[in-house]
Structure 1
Amino acid sequence: MSSKFSVLFLMILNLFITDNKVYSQNNVKKQLEYCAAQASKTLKIIPDDGTLPRAVLNGNKEWKFITYKDWTSGFWPGELWYLYEATGDKKWKTEADKFSRFLTPLSVSKANDHDLGFQIFNSFGNGYRLTKNKEYKDIILKTADTLATLFNPKVGTILSWPHHKSEGHNTIIDNMMNLELLFWASKNGENKKLYDIAVKHAETTMQNHFRPDFSSYHVLIYDYETGKKIKGITAQGYRDDSMWARGQAWAIYGFTMVYRETREERFLDFAHKLARIYLDRLTTEDLIPYWDFNAPGIPNEPRDASAAAIVSSALIELSSFTKDEKLKTEYLTKSKKMVQSLSDSYQSGDVNSAFLLHATGHKPAGSEIDCSINYADYYYLEALLRLQKLK
């Protein structure tokens, strides 16, 4: 190859790469604008009674509204904070503050379940990150102490559902997500024991919550007194030994976050293993999973856009910790593909004012199947913001 041709080839290649980068960022900007427009529609229809939007059921156009006690109550104010971060428009800051404050009672109430991280850190946590409002910080710290009351040192995990403890100490995989609240509080408050609780919970979960192939159970039941593992259950999946898509998504995201907070290589290695089985078993061309990887009616089973949104956001962060360039590229390429598929084929558009369609909540219970759900929207928006920040 002549030197003149080589220079020309490199110029064309560089132009192609640059154009792709521009297209990618322009596309992210377009989708963020879409989310802002949809959220503006939702703001106009929320009742002025302290409730928040949770889901739009299949075949409906109206939101199902919930109170601050619902486990999903933090996602809507979290979305508003993300829109403030994306746009700088103070309209979103005002609305985010309003809806976050509806959740304030959680910081001074007895812990009813483990979801305080989803509720308080997604709302006030994002709010404090963006505003440094001291009132928010106080609420976060109080709530972290409340969450810590559910920790059982004999087991080594946080009790997820106090109201479902007849069989033993239960811990669900979703609980990994709530550890971020404890890590933050240990670094920003006076209770350093919260860090140890979070690490111990992650350690115990890593040891007991997964099958030999690194697929996750939904629920682990432990003996209250001995801490012995009794059994694993997959309550919201197809069966106990199946890989429930959103459960595996929580695990990938959760252990990636634990590595970020601890910098312990064992957690990073585990996050890679959890991502590996998810990606290897993902057979859909658009990379949006069926609600359970073992569901018997595939390909005629519901998809779960929420699992795809969670994993896409997690893979972007996991890629930033990955030294293997080939693996790093795979994570980024597939996460972008997931976000692109959600943007191209799963947006709600004129169907309703949510961001996404085709999420699945609790199929075995016949609840929220193939619908719009606020946590799918939240992690989709988070993934877009993480893509926007990529260099």
Structure 2
Amino acid sequence: MTSTPPSECEVSDAIVSSFQVSTPVADLVPELYTENIIAKALRTAQAALGALPASFPEIVPQEEGRDGSYSLREADFWTCGFFPGTLYSLLERLIKYPQSVQLPDSVNLGDLRNQLTTLCRAWSEPIRGMDGRTDTHDIGFIVMPALRADWELFGNSCSLDSIVKAARSLATRYVASAKAIRSWDLLKKKDIEILDQNDNMIVIIDSMCNLDLMYYAAHHAQDPTLSDMATAHAVTLLQSHLRPEPVFSSSKDAYSGQWYSSCHVANIDPKTGDLKLRLSAQGYDHDSTWSRGQAWGILGYAETYMWTKHHRFLEAACGMAEYFLYRLESAPGCVIQGRYVPLWDFDAPIENEQNPLRDSSAGVIAANGMLILSQALASIDQPNLSTRFRKAAMQIVQDTLSFALAPEKAILATGQYQHIRAEEAIPGHRFDSMLKFGTANNNANARKRYANHGLVYGDYYLVEFGNRLLRMGLC
């Protein structure tokens, strides 16, 4: 890399020092289970229902003059699966962990569960119809958040069938000679165009999080070719995307193996698998570390390890997670409040020291990956490192809630015939996303550059983090 971290300081013990073993985890992040979280999702589900199947929620702009509602995006955009997934994650809480849900006395749990079930089915139906798409590598992001939950909660075989079909659709993008799955068919930016697929194969770090679809379908359909493709892809990206970094910490608690940053995009020779070029489409520049890309890598390699138990994937995830924590801790001095809410790109210049540009979604994505790492490390008798990543994940989410949780809260109310609706806690103060300060794409040469907004996948991974804690028995 040409860009360097702000300083070569050791990773601070402050990442973990604020947590005491005796502190109940739920008490550290109580906002994850409030009425506000359910109310915001319910309101959007009811308000945007009429846009189906053509449009799905994507962002909530923060600038003045906007009404605080979700802006909708065309249904074939890669983010379409996250809002249905958020609804199902909340439904999972109501069904499996009702003790975690904070509801007003006027709202009946059973009525809310039935109403949310109806909305989940309405929002998932268009997703099920996308399972045959071969034009995108993001089919995992599209189908898994909602359809996996629909299958696991209700045993809906149609959803499992769609998952398997979607995995086989993704498999059509696998290029055997390169041992990887093609991410994008082309890349068109103001400063670069890659259009020829015969000599170019564009692969992005985000693709690691679509492998979960391949493994899940492989096991349910008893089709090992799907898992073989996923594993080959993960191995290829170890070389094409991961960049070794110095180990900046001598702390006995930190991961002592190789640390890694990640590029966003790699152009691979489809005939040989050789790396031709590394670049960025959404980060600051080609050599920088785009924080959400780093987060996708942490989560994707952690998930891949859990499926395969291959230690090279665990080592990759640990190395990426440790570097992510280092960059949070060694951020410039102007990043004081919300230190663990990542800058949108760890190497981008700070243009506004009073309000440095962040990406709250990157933090909660990385935190989900670190929770998986914690489980993985505990299972192989590495309790210290397991505890470190669990506590680091909690610190990130705790800081995110303190810094980025939208102050415009929503509440639940019961109307005629026990119909439950959501409304502003303070009339006239609306913001439909749970988190603020997301950055979808701030690359100067992107065809669409937009930042500082609520992001649908930021909300999804925030809710999913709360569910992971519940599944782990930590709440």
In the superposition, the TM-score normalised over structure 1's length comes to 0.90
Q: What does residue 412 of structure 2 align with?
A: none
Partner SS, residue 162 of structure 1? coil
- Contact 2:437–2:452 (8 Å) recurs in 1: yes
Cα-to-partner distance string for 1:333-382 (whole Å, 9 max, x where unaligned): 22111111222221124241111100001001363301001000011111
Partner SS, residue 370 of structure 1? strand
Greater displacement, 177-186 / 300-309: 300-309
Equivalent position amino acid for 2:314 in 1: L
Residue 101 of structure 2 is aligned to residue 99 of structure 1: no
Equivalent position amino acid for 2:311 in 1: E
Residue 464 of structure 2 is aligned to residue 382 of structure 1: yes
Indicate the structure whose relative CO is greater, using CA pairs within 8 Å and at least 6 residues apart.
2
Return the offset for 1:174: 0.4
Q: What does residue 313 of structure 1 align with?
A: 368
Gaps of 5+ in 1: 1-15
Q: What does residue 359 of structure 1 align with?
A: 438
In the superposition, the TM-score normalised over structure 2's length comes to 0.75
Q: Closer, same or farther in 2 for the Cα pair 1:128/1:368, shift >3 Å?
A: farther
Fraction of identical pairs, as percent: 30
From 195, 198, 205, the counterpart of 1:166:
195
- Contact 1:28–1:388 (8 Å) recurs in 2: no
Residue 74 of structure 2 is aligned to residue 45 of structure 1: no
Q: What does residue 79 of structure 2 align with?
A: 72
Return the offset for 1:163: 3.9
Residue 43 of structure 2 is aligned to residue 54 of structure 1: no
Return the offset for 1:224: 2.1
Using the alignment, how far apart are the partners of 1:250 and 1:372 within structure 2?
18
Using the alignment, how far apart are the partners of 2:282 and 2:455 within structure 1?
16
Cα-to-partner distance string for 1:158-187 (whole Å, 9 max, x where unaligned): 111124452510000000000000001110
Cα-to-partner distance string for 1:115-154 (whole Å, 9 max, x where unaligned): 0000011121222122221110111111110000000011
Partner SS, residue 221 of structure 1? strand
From 334, 339, 342, the counterpart of 1:289:
342
Taking the TM superposition and a 5 Å limit, the aligned residue runs for 1:218-367 are: 218-283=264-329, 284-285=335-336, 286=338, 287-297=340-350, 299=353, 300-322=355-377, 323-350=381-408, 351-364=430-443, 365=446, 367=449
Q: How many residues align?
A: 372
Equivalent position amino acid for 1:62 in 2: S
Partner SS, residue 114 of structure 1? coil
- Contact 2:206–2:297 (8 Å) recurs in 1: yes
User: Cα RMSD over matched residues?
Assistant: 1.8
Using the alignment, how far apart are the partners of 1:376 and 1:296 within structure 2?
23
Residue 254 of structure 2 is aligned to residue 208 of structure 1: no
From 162, 174, 183, the counterpart of 2:215:
183
- Contact 1:25–1:388 (8 Å) recurs in 2: no
Residue 147 of structure 2 is aligned to residue 124 of structure 1: yes
Using the alignment, how far apart are the partners of 1:243 and 1:326 within structure 2?
27
Using the alignment, how far apart are the partners of 1:134 and 1:324 within structure 2?
38
Partner SS, residue 321 of structure 1? helix
Gaps of 5+ in 2: 1-19, 96-112, 188-193, 246-259, 330-334, 409-429
Equivalent position amino acid for 1:234 in 2: S
Using the alignment, how far apart are the partners of 1:258 and 1:83 within structure 2?
25
More strand by share: 2
Cα-to-partner distance string for 1:166-209 (whole Å, 9 max, x where unaligned): 25100000000000000011100143200100000000001221
Q: Closer, same or farther in 2 for the Cα pair 1:92/1:29, shift >3 Å?
A: farther
Residue 37 of structure 2 is aligned to residue 35 of structure 1: yes
More helix by share: 1
Using the alignment, how far apart are the partners of 1:335 and 1:122 within structure 2?
21
Return the offset for 1:27: 5.5
Return the offset for 1:80: 0.5
Using the alignment, how far apart are the partners of 1:131 and 1:104 within structure 2?
15
Partner SS, residue 354 of structure 1? coil
Greater displacement, 27-36 / 77-86: 27-36
Q: Closer, same or farther in 2 for the Cα pair 1:53/1:249, shift >3 Å?
A: same
Partner SS, residue 212 of structure 1? strand
Return the offset for 1:93: 2.3
Using the alignment, how far apart are the partners of 2:363 and 2:147 within structure 1?
25
